[in-house]
Structure 1
């Protein structure tokens, strides 16, 4: 669809430019938001008639945005979220969350003014762009932490996801064992080998006894069979 822009649109053009866009983009966003008109003869004439008024209105909006930018740009805002030890959030921080955060702090903002490549899913300091006007963009820092204390430490440059070394957890080896007790690995290994040898000897003796018993049983059976044959002959 061919349209005429009523304000500057990123990646499209400046006010008054006639450009081609996808029909869905025009119908669902640009036209209903008052950012463009269909580029037909009537609308082009209308635009030229209203151009001075549109430019004056745009300049006023830009001036207001620059005033807000002077207060907002570079500011830091804290978001408290739960996370694992590695800093991975249980959930994420979205454009809606950031817009609500800015609004709560006196900067009325809509979610479509927040620019995020993807939702924030990890602790830390994150730069976020806020579009105040087609020609004015602020950058703020979103400090995502588990507590206010961690947020302060992160702002000071500390990595709160690094696990601190606990002195109580680093117990010396000699404190684990009672004094005077020596650990002799070779001796333990020797004992283990001796136990295995004993088990093997016991198994061998048992197997030998079983073999002897089987042999004796076979002999008894043979003798009994012979006696039965002799009785039969008699």
Structure 2
């Protein structure tokens, strides 16, 4: 384990300025290259303390900017059209990149790293994902995955597409059974 000083808030690790122990690989491969932390040496600690006010001001500015973007994203619903099987299972899945690209169409710019998917989206329907605009600001966004724009509108209104589809199939089966029984009666 090595000691690092956090340069910004890192989820599940600590706040800006905290000195924490992390595994060497995590520090070397993620925290240090992304600028989220620096090694906890005497000189780095002194440098951090002298720059702390400036870093906090920058962090506050970034947070305010993220809050403005969050206000614009409030209530955002992203519609993604994908092909899927009869059961509603997608051929493939929806990734963070797909969601980030769809927000560009809405006039907002987020990166795929900011989209937090608890698990991949592999079925049709409405799913809520979290977009982390800043370590302290995140917003829920509704992703509507459908086969067509018409289906997406129905899902957005809350209509149950499966029940509608099953009712349609049942009526077609009833018509087919009636026609078959008529054909059977006509032959006799």
Whether 1:175 and 2:182 are equivalent positions in the alignment is yes
Match of residue 94 from structure 2: 93
Provide, for residues 128-179 of structure 1, a one-character-per-residue CA deviation record: whole Å limited to 9, x for no partner.
Answer: 0000000000110000000000000001112323424333431337534326
Equivalent residues in 2 for 1:11-30, closer than 5 Å: 11-30=12-31
Provide, for residues 58-95 of structure 1, a one-character-per-residue CA deviation record: whole Å limited to 9, x for no partner.
Answer: 00000000001111133101000000110000111011
Match of residue 58 from structure 1: 59
Return the structure number with greater strand share: 2
The higher relative CO (CA closer than 8 Å, separation ≥ 6) is in 2
Counterpart among 165, 168, 183 of residue 167 in structure 2: 165
**Which structure: larger Rg?**
1
| Distance (whole Å) between structure 2 residues aligned to residue 126 and residue 23 of structure 1 | 36
Aligned CA-pair RMSD: 1.6
| Distance (whole Å) between structure 1 residues aligned to residue 150 and residue 18 of structure 2 | 51
* TM-score normalised by structure 2 residue count: 0.90
Provide, for residues 77-133 of structure 1, a one-character-per-residue CA deviation record: whole Å limited to 9, x for no partner.
Answer: 100000011000011101111111112322211111111122110000000000000
Secondary structure at the counterpart of residue 160 of structure 2: coil
Secondary structure at the counterpart of residue 170 of structure 1: helix
The runs of 5 or more residues in structure 2 that have no matched partner are none
Runs (4+) of structure 1 moved beyond 6 Å?
A: none
Match of residue 203 from structure 1: none
The size of the alignment, in residue pairs, is 181
